[in-house]
Amino acid sequence: MVQFGPTPSPGSIFLASKFIVEELPIRLAKKVKDLDNAPLGLDQQPSTIKVKNWYAQSFQELTGLPKPAIDENLKKLLYQNNGGNNNNQNHQNGHAQSVSDVEEQPHIKEEIHKIHDSLEDNPAINNIFSDDGIVVRHNHHHSLPRKAKDPLDNTINRTSSPTYGQTYFSPCPTNIVWPKEVYDYNKLVCEALEKIKKRHDATVATMAQGVKEWKTLNKTVLVNSQIQTFLDRFYMSRIGIRMLIGQHIALNMAQNSPTKQRISTLINGNNEPKKSQRSNYVGVICTDCNVGEIAEDAIETAKYICEEYYGLFEAPEIKLIAPQQDINFMYVPGHLIHMLFETLKNSLRATIEFHIPKLKQNYMKQHPDAKYEEIDLNDLEFPAIKVIISEGTEDIAIKISDEGGGIPRSSLPLIWTYLYTTVDETPILESEHTNQSSFKAPMAGFGYGLPISRLYAQYFGGDLKLISMEGYGTDVYLHLNKLSSSNEPLP
């Protein structure tokens, strides 16, 4: 995705548009099928059906787009970097040949089985502690199928995929005049993706409503483990779809921006502040993402929501501690700010609600005339929350420490389940809200903050961990993979 650079070529965008029009319907069709097979009657809930229909509609729109016509002249322009031939086809044919060769040689097939079995039995790869943040699992193991299947079957199935062997980015010249068809097709695909993105903005909230409907119907408080697993898979694949769509729309915008920037500079002079220049962005990815700056943005947003919710002039202090100044790495700032914002909201709420009774009692001792109910929260001084950022060779770790009273050990497994919340009354998702993306984020109550944040961290090979001391506070550890070494976790 980053290979496009800050000013992508229209030709590269054209090939990427062709790729995305073939790749996205595969993912959307899988979502429709998954929602059709949602466990324990979740598939029957009105909100689940609504989400499924959105995916089906998006699938129809993408598959209905007219295919671009590529004549000989355009083919030469698009593929001149590889001698005028599309190497994807050669790559596919070559790979299919190698698979058939292996099938005809039983001793090679047997050897693959042996290697596969040794990986299955390796305690460093498959054990109950494999996700404790200490054991490192190399991603190429994940592509191996389970024992019950032939290790070759997976490869053969993948080679039949329309996008197998193709890449999202293909290098194309930037200093030539591209024919009108290229720009027209890029615009057509971008507009279709913008429409789809807007349609699916409310998917998380609407699925939350579906789970709520399921809980009401089944008269249960907690989400069943089957539904939990289903939702993890569902939301993880949604992150992948949103990443593809968001990146492609942003690349199309970047493709048009250099000319606009030059005109703006000629007319107005270069008066833009340095921070607003997005030369270190490729689409939604920042190649030089400053973790401290993003943490500051998340802190300000969380404090604002907190002040509005509790009627405070100023939220509890949040101290940002970064021993190594200016920690920068390649990441998606939108994902990072989401994870930090959700975690900080939890810490602020816990800190305020845990300390209100204690601080009010202390206030009454110092002011004997004061009545408990009439004490203004702005007269109380809450303990600070700490955000500590550290950089290692593999990870960038962010620890958020609060003194919000902690979580009982019996409740710790529940915090990762969807729709588990400590709020007495869950905010109502009104029907008009689930059709728009701009409805205001509540301080708490949906029970989606932590599980979704953990999926965002895991999408790029990181993780989110939580350690709590009941009666004192909670430490949340956000690990971000610095090496960019993970594969996309496709369910």
Question: What's the pLDDT band for 317 if we cut at 50, 70, 90?
Answer: very high
The predicted pLDDT at position 155 comes to 54
List CB contacts of 62: < 8 A, sequence separation 6 or more. 21, 24, 25, 28, 192, 196
Q: How many CB atoms lie within 10 A of CB 437?
A: 13
SS3 259: helix
Mean pLDDT of 428-435: 48
Tell me which range, 48-57, 65-74, 95-104, 146-155, is most confidently predicted by mean pLDDT: 48-57
Q: How many CB atoms lie within 10 A of CB 25?
A: 18
Three-state SS annotation for 33-54: HHHHCCHHHHHHCHHHHHHHHH
The predicted pLDDT at position 244 comes to 96
Kindly write down the DSSP assignment for every residue of 168-227, as one continuous string: S-----SSSPPPHHHHHHHHHHHHHHHHHHHHTTTHHHHHHHHHHHHHHHHT-SSPPHHH
The predicted pLDDT at position 265 comes to 45
Mean pLDDT for all residues in the chain: 81
**Is residue 346 annotated as part of the catalytic site, yes or no?**
yes
Asked if pLDDT for residue 440 goes beyond 60, the answer is: no
Annotated catalytic residue, options 31, 88, 116, 342? 342
The predicted pLDDT at position 165 comes to 78
Considering only residues 490 and 88, tell me which one the structure prediction assigns the higher pLDDT.
490
The predicted pLDDT at position 83 comes to 43
Q: For residue range 205-249, what is the model confidence (pLDDT) as tens digits?
A: 899 999 999 999 999 888 889 999 999 999 999 999 999 999 999
The predicted pLDDT at position 86 comes to 46
Asked if pLDDT for residue 149 goes beyond 70, the answer is: no
Asked if pLDDT for residue 177 goes beyond 60, the answer is: yes
Tell me how far apart the alpha carbons of residues 309 and 74 are, in angstroms, rounded to a whole number: 57
Asked if pLDDT for residue 50 goes beyond 90, the answer is: yes
Which of these, 23, 60, 33, 15, lies nearest to 158 by C-alpha position? 23
The predicted pLDDT at position 13 comes to 95
Asked if pLDDT for residue 169 goes beyond 90, the answer is: yes
Asked if pLDDT for residue 92 goes beyond 70, the answer is: no
Annotated catalytic residue, options 18, 52, 215, 345? 345
Between vectors from CA 420 to CA 28 and to CA 318, what angle results, nearest 5°?
100
Mean pLDDT of 353-362: 95
Candidate from 302-306, 392-396, 425-429, 434-438 with smallest mean pLDDT: 434-438
Annotated catalytic residue, options 346, 355, 403, 481? 346
Asked if pLDDT for residue 87 goes beyond 50, the answer is: no
Q: In the chain, what are the domains?
A: 7-201 (no CATH), 284-481 (3.30.565.10)
SS3 400: strand
Cβ(453)–Cβ(342) below 8 Å: yes
Question: What's the pLDDT band for 427 if we cut at 50, 70, 90?
Answer: low
The predicted pLDDT at position 166 comes to 83
Share of the chain above pLDDT 90, in %: 59
Question: What's the pLDDT band for 82 if we cut at 50, 70, 90?
Answer: low
Asked if pLDDT for residue 47 goes beyond 60, the answer is: yes
The predicted pLDDT at position 420 comes to 79
Asked if pLDDT for residue 315 goes beyond 50, the answer is: yes
Candidate from 58-62, 251-255, 277-281 with smallest mean pLDDT: 277-281
Asked if pLDDT for residue 279 goes beyond 80, the answer is: no
The predicted pLDDT at position 422 comes to 62
The predicted pLDDT at position 80 comes to 74
Mean pLDDT of 352-359: 95
Tell me how far apart the alpha carbons of residues 33 and 35 are, in angstroms, rounded to a whole number: 5
Question: What's the pLDDT band for 7 if we cut at 50, 70, 90?
Answer: confident
Tell me how far apart the alpha carbons of residues 331 and 439 are, in angstroms, rounded to a whole number: 26
The predicted pLDDT at position 114 comes to 53
**Is residue 345 annotated as part of the catalytic site, yes or no?**
yes
The predicted pLDDT at position 221 comes to 83
**Is residue 53 annotated as part of the catalytic site, yes or no?**
no
Asked if pLDDT for residue 340 goes beyond 80, the answer is: yes
Tell me how far apart the alpha carbons of residues 91 and 167 are, in angstroms, rounded to a whole number: 11
Tell me how far apart the alpha carbons of residues 145 and 154 are, in angstroms, rounded to a whole number: 7
Kindly write down the DSSP assignment for every residue of 45-109, as one continuous string: SHHHHHHHHHHHHHHHHHHTSPPPP--HHHHHHHHGGGTTS-HHHHHHHHHHHHHHHHHT-HHHH
